[in-house]
Structure 1
Amino acid sequence: MRLLPPPLVLILLILMGALRLVWPGAVLLPAPLNWLGLLPVALGVLLLLQGSGLFRRIGTNIKTFNEPGVLVTDGPFRLTRNPMYLGFLLLLIGVAVLLGAATPFAGPVVFAAASQFIYIPFEEKALRAKFGEAYEAYARRVRRWI
């Protein structure tokens, strides 16, 4: 069984909170500066809702390791090929900022690495196999992240 991104994010959020309590490291952003984390949290949630909502409206698969149904290129996918991964990453960065300490930033780093080296390459391979040149043309027009 492969770990999907939403459960990974939940696990990382829990670990980030635990790290803040048990081993916070240096305080990077004391209150009230840590409240700046609300901005990336809000942007991340917005990207997640837009991307998943578009997938739902179109009726295509949203699960990372299942076969893609439709090549989605509108909405937030016009700006980034991976708005939902970017949304999760922004959410994790925002929470790390809200927590204000150094060690919770391990969460966004772990998620970025999992996305960059596991999730996204798997999806790109499946998209190339299913949509061929249409996906290649899209990949040339739109960046992987931002």
Structure 2
Amino acid sequence: MLKWIDMPPVWLLAFLSAAWWQKTYHPMGGFGPVWADLLGGILVGGGLILMALAIFEMRRHRTTVIPHRTADRIVTSGIFKRSRNPIYLGDSMILTGMILYWDAVLALPLIPIFVWVIEKRFIEPEEDRLRRKFVAEYTRYAQQTRRWV
């Protein structure tokens, strides 16, 4: 049960809840209604598209999307040519976009905290598993493709 709670979407939901709580109960100023809403929408939409492209590519290669499982194959095509972690990048974009959309100024520090949590809880262990299973191929991939962008 605990392994299903410790999943990136649950962490994203927790951080989104904290940002929503801040904007609802402790509103402070704002980013400006027009540009913040537009940029927030673009970030949320872009994040969802990144996630969908990554999931499609992983399914196409018949490997797992579940973070705590060991991958059957290393995926280096499609969106994975641009980022080693497009789903986590999409999560970060969604969080940023919603903070902008909600004008949750005080929630801005949640973004680097979220990135740190995702790196420590998911990215580093995943990369260790990939490095052990696909030694030369993963090393080459990691040299050619950045972790985030």
TM-score of the pair, normalised by structure 2: 0.90
Residue in 2 that maps onto 1:22: 25
CA drift of 1:57 comes to: 2.3
Distance 1:28 1:76 in 2: 34
Distance 1:21 1:28 in 2: 13
Q: Does 1:31 align with 2:33?
A: yes
Q: Write out the 4+ residue segments of structure 1 that deviate beyond 3 Å after TM superposition.
A: none
Distance 1:37 1:78 in 2: 25
Q: Summarize the alignment of residues 89-104 of structure 1 with structure 2, pairs less than 5 Å apart.
A: 89-104=92-107
CA drift of 1:58 comes to: 2.0
Please tell me whether the aligned partners of residues 19 and 104 of structure 2 are also in contact (alpha carbons under 8 angstroms): no
Q: Summarize the alignment of residues 118-137 of structure 1 with structure 2, pairs less than 5 Å apart.
A: 118-137=121-140
Residue in 2 that maps onto 1:114: 117
1:46-78 deviation digits (Å, cap 9, x = unpaired): 101100111122221111111111100011100
Distance 1:30 1:77 in 2: 34
Q: SS in structure 2 opposite 1:123? A: helix
Residue in 1 that maps onto 2:62: 59
CA drift of 1:139 comes to: 0.2
Please tell me whether the aligned partners of residues 50 and 76 of structure 1 are also in contact (alpha carbons under 8 angstroms): yes
**Letter matched to residue 27 of structure 2:** P
Q: SS in structure 2 opposite 1:94? A: helix
Residue in 1 that maps onto 2:145: 142
CA drift of 1:40 comes to: 0.9
Distance 1:130 1:30 in 2: 48
**Unpaired stretches in structure 1, ≥5 consecutive residues:** none
TM-score of the pair, normalised by structure 1: 0.92
Q: SS in structure 2 opposite 1:20? A: helix
**Unpaired stretches in structure 2, ≥5 consecutive residues:** none
How many aligned positions are there? 145
